[in-house]
């Protein structure tokens, strides 16, 4: 192994977790305030790093280099896990594709000042990105590398340009009660576990190097996410036309209010580049993953060519139709995916695997950790279920302060 192998895989891990989640993260987490948001980031980072290490260790112990996550979950949890894994993967893949398409239309329409053509711009993004996936893996890898360079480059420029507009008063606001509602979005920003089998294979199942790669890769994601939240929360006001609260209600990516709040051509341009790069890299990765999953799911029911095109149609047409009918689903869908599917697949199931494996080896302290992880991810799952069912409603304090019901005899603050 070359000495830089761990760092190359680390960048791969960070690239898998970074993407369109960056566009959503500051809006919802920022409404809890900077300190609660950063605390939530560190907390979820530690949990997701732990779940990745659990899956990687079990994959190494399996000694089946060609196995995927389905085989891993089947052997680690039991054959019954397919009833959770299959719908969980479908929710993750379809939900993310819908979120990316919704975000692309909103970003392009706003930053290009063409609100009436949002559906057309969304369709253009869909055709370009879907065509890139259908061309083949070779083209995907080359295009993805170029867009990752564009993503990181535009991100650094935006930090420099926007950082000058940070106002200290925006950094002191805190609403810890709203923090639980932000955790599903944060989960989406640290979801990389789908590439665990490839990571282990790339590092020849060397347990020490794998753990280093996961630590360094997720740490890079933590630093990037933290800096991005700091900048956006520091620049955007809590309330107003171009604010965190308005973007939250409009299901907007962070770059839209950010570009609106700073009247400068450079911000508009680099916001567009950053948004498109994040959406492209995320869309092609998830789209290719869902197409492969559906191709395997179809089995031998069709011949090879028909199965490939049928899987492509089932992959891309449903998300497009849903997004065209319901265009403002960006934050809503990411919350659903993070709180339900990711918490289940990449949180609860790895914790169950750890519990089963340590019970056999009678490692009490690891069993305690497994039980704690099960409890935490179960709470995150139930939290999102409660919010989606309307049984639990958590609103940002700023919404109550400025948009709550007006009491008799008092004027509206707006």
The CATH code of the domain that includes 119 is 1.20.1740.10
Mean predicted confidence (pLDDT) in 292-297? 75
Mention every residue, 6+ apart, whose C-beta is less than 8 A from residue 57.
207
- Domain range for 372 is 5-400
Task: Answer for the pair 330, 253: CB distance below 8 angstroms, yes or no.
Answer: yes
Burial of residue 252, with CB atoms counted within 10 A of its CB: 0-12 exposed, 13-18 middle, 19 or more buried = buried
Is residue 414 situated within a structural domain?
Answer: no
In a domain, 333, yes or no: yes
**Contact call for residues 295 and 93 (beta carbons, < 8 A):** no
Is 411 part of any domain?
Answer: no
Residue 410 in domain: no
273-292 per-position pLDDT tens digit: 888 888 888 888 788 778 87
Residues 333-387 pLDDT 10s:
888 888 888 999 999 999 999 998 887 777 788 889 999 999 999 999 998 888 8
- The answer to whether the CB of 277 falls within 8 A of the CB of 148 is yes
Q: 316: which 2 tokens?
A: 């891309």
Q: CA-to-CA distance for 239 and 260, rounded, in angstroms?
A: 14
Residues 290, 293, 297, 302, CA torsion sign = positive
| pTM of this structure | 0.83
Q: What's the mean per-residue pLDDT of the chain?
A: 83
In a domain, 21, yes or no: yes
**Of the candidates 133, 134, 108, which has an alpha carbon nearest to the alpha carbon of residue 122?**
108
CA pair distance 33, 10, nearest whole angstrom: 30
Q: Are 11 and 216 in contact (CB under 8 A)?
A: no
**Total structural domains in the chain?**
1
Nearest CA among 19, 29, 18 for reference residue 248: 29
- The alpha-carbon radius of gyration of the chain (Å, integer) is 21
In a domain, 412, yes or no: no
- Selection from 186-195, 214-223, 259-268 with the highest mean pLDDT: 214-223
64 assigned to some structural domain: yes
CA distances (Å), origin 393, targets 178, 181, 235, 266, 389 = 10, 9, 28, 39, 9
Nearest to 72 by CA among 57, 90, 83, 87: 57
pLDDT beyond 50 at 221: yes
Give which of 116, 125, 146 is closest to 279, Cα–Cα.
125
Three-class SS of residue 33? Answer: strand
User: Alpha helix (H) ranges present in 164-242?
Assistant: 179-188, 196-202, 207-235
**In-domain check, residue 409:** no
* pLDDT, tens digit (0-9, with 9 covering 90-100), for 23-74: 888 988 999 999 999 999 999 999 999 999 999 999 999 887 767 777 888 8
Residue 296 has pLDDT above 80, yes or no: no
- In this predicted structure, what is the pLDDT of residue 410? 39
Q: What is the pLDDT of residues 232-287, one digit of tens each?
A: 999 999 888 788 988 888 888 888 888 888 766 667 788 888 888 888 888 887 88
The residue with greater pLDDT, 224 or 215, is 215
Encode 262-301: b = buried (16+ Cβ within 10 Å), e = exposed.
beeeebbebbbbbbbbbbbbbbbbbbbbbbebbbeeeeee
Q: How confident is the model at residue 406 (pLDDT cuts 50, 70, 90)?
A: very low
Angle between helices 364-388 and 349-361 (to 10 degrees): 160
């Amino acid at each position: 192994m070359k000495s830089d192998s761990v760092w190359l895989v680390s960048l791969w891990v960070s690239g898998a977790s970074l993407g369109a989640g960056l566009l959503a993260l500051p809006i919802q987490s920022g409404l809890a305030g900077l300190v609660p948001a950063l605390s939530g980031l560190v907390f979820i980072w530690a949990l997701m790093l732990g779940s990745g290490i659990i899956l990687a260790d079990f994959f190494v112990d399996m000694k089946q280099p060609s196995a995927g996550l389905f085989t891993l979950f089947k052997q680690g949890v039991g054959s019954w896990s397919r009833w959770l894994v299959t719908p969980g993967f479908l929710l993750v893949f379809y939900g993310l594709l819908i979120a990316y398409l919704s975000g692309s239309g909103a970003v392009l329409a706003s930053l290009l000042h063409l609100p009436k053509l949002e559906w057309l711009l969304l369709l253009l993004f869909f055709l370009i990105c879907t065509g890139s996936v259908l061309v083949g893996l070779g083209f995907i890898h080359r295009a993805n590398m170029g867009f990752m360079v564009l993503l990181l480059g535009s991100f650094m420029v935006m930090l420099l340009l926007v950082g000058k507009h940070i106002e200290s008063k925006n950094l002191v606001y805190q609403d810890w009660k709203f923090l639980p509602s932000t955790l599903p979005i944060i989960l989406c920003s640290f979801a990389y576990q789908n590439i665990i089998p490839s990571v282990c294979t790339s590092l020849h199942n060397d347990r020490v190097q794998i753990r280093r790669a996961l630590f360094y890769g997720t740490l890079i994601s933590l630093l990037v996410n933290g800096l991005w939240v700091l900048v956006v929360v520091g620049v955007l006001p809590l309330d107003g036309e171009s604010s965190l609260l308005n973007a939250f209600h409009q299901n907007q990516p962070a770059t839209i209010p950010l570009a609106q709040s700073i009247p400068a051509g450079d911000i508009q341009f680099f916001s567009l580049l950053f948004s498109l790069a994040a959406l492209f890299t995320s869309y092609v990765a998830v789209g290719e993953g869902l197409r492969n999953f559906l191709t395997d799911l179809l089995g031998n029911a069709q011949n090879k060519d028909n199965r490939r095109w049928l899987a492509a149609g089932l992959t891309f047409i449903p998300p497009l139709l849903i997004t065209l009918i319901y265009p403002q689903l960006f934050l809503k869908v990411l919350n659903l995916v993070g709180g339900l599917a990711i918490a289940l697949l990449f949180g609860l199931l790895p914790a169950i695997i750890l519990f089963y494996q340590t019970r056999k080896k009678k490692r009490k302290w690891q069993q305690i950790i497994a039980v704690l992880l099960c409890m935490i991810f179960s709470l995150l799952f139930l939290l999102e279920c409660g919010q989606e069912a309307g049984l639990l409603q958590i609103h940002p304090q700023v919404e109550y302060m400025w948009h709550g019901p007006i009491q008799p005899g008092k004027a509206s603050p707006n």
